[in-house]
Amino acid sequence: MAQIADTTRNPRLDALTDQIRVEMDRDKRKFLCGEVQKILADDLPYLPLWFTDVVSVHRRELGDLQLSPTGDYDFLTTIKPSPELRAPH
């Protein structure tokens, strides 16, 4: 479903995005995308210019890191490294 600003649903956007997914003709797909853009320009109260993409590249020895979708670093408080990574005392 096409959802605008987490509170509004638009069945016309749903139909258009479904069509875009299966349309093989480039010109028809371009037209359908233009229709979506027109609807969004009229209906959308704001358009976020970025999104938070939480990605982690880390050594396996650090264990299973539970990343927050907000992108904060709270996961650093729960890291339980394997014994071979711990510093000698």
Q: Where are the domains of the chain?
A: 3-43, 52-84
Averaged pLDDT of the chain: 78
The list of the chain residues with pLDDT below 70 reads 1-8, 46-48, 50-54, 84-89
42, 26, 3, 74: CA torsion to nearest 10? -120
Cβ count within 10 A of residue 67: 13
Express each pLDDT in 20-45 by its tens digit. 999 999 999 999 999 999 998 888 77
CA–CA separation, 25 vs 32, rounded Å? 11
Residue 12 CB partners (closer than 8 Å, separation 6+): 39
For residue 76, give the 3-state DSSP assignment.
Answer: helix
